[in-house]
Chains A and B, each alone.
Chain A
Amino acid sequence: MLLHELAHCRAGDKGNTATLSVFPRADADYALLARVLTAERVRAHLAEFVAGEVVRHELPDLCALHFVCHEIVDGGVTTSLALDTHGKSVSSRLLALEIQ
């Protein structure tokens, strides 16, 4: 199934760095997401968009996984050649990740 079934996601941007916050629709799925949604998995899924490191922050009190993606390909709002210069739509791309 797609991550979209279980979670919602918000992207943010600071210069060349993107943040992706993932929240399970039901708190009970936090443990499952924490197990399958590793930084490596996210980086591989977004390889086309992220050139640098992906750091995962676990926030159990908030029931959130927060990914900080460094060196966004074609990043930087002002000088990017991408259509979505902010990278706002990367949140939806992440939700296309297939999970078991």
Chain B
Amino acid sequence: MRTTRIGSGAGFSGDRIEPAEDLLRRAGLADLVLECLGERTVAQAQQRRLADPSLGYERRLPARFTRLLPLAAAHGVRVITNMGAANPLAAGRVTVSIMDSLGLRGRVAVVTGDDVLPVLDLDAPAWETGRPLREHGEIVSANAYLGADALLPALAADVVLTGRVADPSLFLAPLADRLGWDLADVPLAAAGTLVGHLLECAGQLTGGYFADPGFQDVPDLAELGFPYADVAADGTAAFGKLPGTGGLLSRATVREQLLYEITDPAAYLTPDVTLDVRGVRVTDDVRVSGARGAARPDTLKVSVGYRAGSKVEAEISYVGPNAAARGALAADIVARRLAGMPVRAEVLGGETDCRLRVAAIGHDGSLLDRVADEVESLYTNGPAGGGGFRAHVTEVIGIASTTIPRAATHPEVTFLEAPDAAA
């Protein structure tokens, strides 16, 4: 039976790069997928694009591609990634210029159409709160989770860049392409979506979030290997990682990833299929089968980013005998000084080594500064032995979710060539 090998080269924006290099060199992959776009990441990227229209793609794209694309080209591996973030076209142009500078030839495809801010009904209720979206704050982004159907026309390229696409769809599309699947075939779409769900967090499948010394020992996490799957035309999959790499790929690590973030095991909604994982079987040699499914939903999930003000976090430590009592006294003092303000104050740690942490969120910068000042002033106005004060203020992009009719989205694919003919 026909099979194809697909690898997972990144599970989040900050992931390591070496495991993907290793997969490209040694795994004999047909496709490598890099999943780098969290819910908040796209809203933050949108802000960078608003500040500079040439930005808004994943910040680490140049570093990642400079190291990975020469290997992908040398080994004939197609690369698929959502590092386009809030500006996939700019990501495509940067990718072409990186390929030019490395002397690589190839075709880059850019998938757009996930940005639905212009057409979104801001009076629609948010799932999380039930309140209309527009009441949450100034809306900065709205991105629909596109499905595998949006990626299929892009797969003629060597490098495929997207913005917001459902994570498993990044895998289902190339599987369908390599194995000749029809995306309307529900059992196959379910099987491919399960493979994508298992691979999308990269090292989390191979023991990168599992070690518990003495109970769950994982060898050589410093050299963790990322996973790949050999997927057969009937949808069954065998998972592996490269020999000599660290980590652990076992029935236990696969089961943890299988249920990760699934709020209904009978109906996990994706743009491609409604996945039912209740009958999935994982063997001791990490073969996976038994995904079932129902038809895909008529609506797509939309992540809406809004300005939620800023967050201050201020901390100070107490150690030694009676440290917890001094930490508690410090918390009392700050609570009295900030009476009436919605702050969270907690003493973290143990009896002889603890840290007061005070956090608040709001739109009034001077009030947030006051929270930090009150914690800092404990140095000479609080309990004995306070030390290690730190405070920082960060802008907060809140995320609310809603849905949009599938027919209201219009995915498009743009092809670019390296070397850049226009340059």
Pick the most buried of A13, A15, A64, A68: most chain B CB atoms within 10 A of its CB.
A15
Taking residues whose C-beta sits less than 8 angstroms from the other chain, chain B's interface range is: 35 or more
| Distance A74 CA – B261 CA, assembled complex (angstroms) | 18
B40 within 8 A of A: yes
A4 within 8 A of B: yes
Query: Chain A residues near B286 (CB, 8 Å)?
Result: none
Query: Chain A residues near B252 (CB, 8 Å)?
Result: 8, 23
8 Å CB interface, B359-395 against A? 359-361
| Distance A2 CA – B256 CA, assembled complex (angstroms) | 20
Query: Chain A residues near B258 (CB, 8 Å)?
Result: 62
| Distance A3 CA – B26 CA, assembled complex (angstroms) | 41
B221 within 8 A of A: no
Query: Chain A residues near B279 (CB, 8 Å)?
Result: 61
Interchain CB contact under 8 A, B398 and A79: yes
Interchain CB contact under 8 A, A61 and B280: yes
Interchain CB contact under 8 A, B361 and A81: yes
| Distance A81 CA – B255 CA, assembled complex (angstroms) | 31
| Distance A25 CA – B290 CA, assembled complex (angstroms) | 22
Instruction: Determine the main DSSP class of B at the interface with A.
Output: mixed
8 Å CB interface, A1-60 against B? 4, 8, 10, 12-17, 19, 21, 23, 25, 57, 59
Interchain CB contact under 8 A, B209 and A66: no
Whole-angstrom distance between the Cβ of B389 and the nearest chain A Cβ:
16
Interchain CB contact under 8 A, B255 and A19: no
Interchain CB contact under 8 A, B265 and A59: yes
Chain A's closest residue to B210 (CB) is A8
Chain A's closest residue to B346 (CB) is A83
A77 within 8 A of B: yes
Query: Chain A residues near B265 (CB, 8 Å)?
Result: 57, 59, 66
Interchain CB contact under 8 A, B396 and A79: yes
| Distance A73 CA – B387 CA, assembled complex (angstroms) | 30
Interchain CB contact under 8 A, A64 and B255: yes
Interchain CB contact under 8 A, A66 and B259: yes
Chain A's closest residue to B127 (CB) is A15
Interface residues of B (CB under 8 A from A): 39-40, 127-128, 209-210, 212, 215-216, 252, 255-266, 277-282, 290, 308, 311, 344, 346, 348, 357, 359-361, 396-399, 401
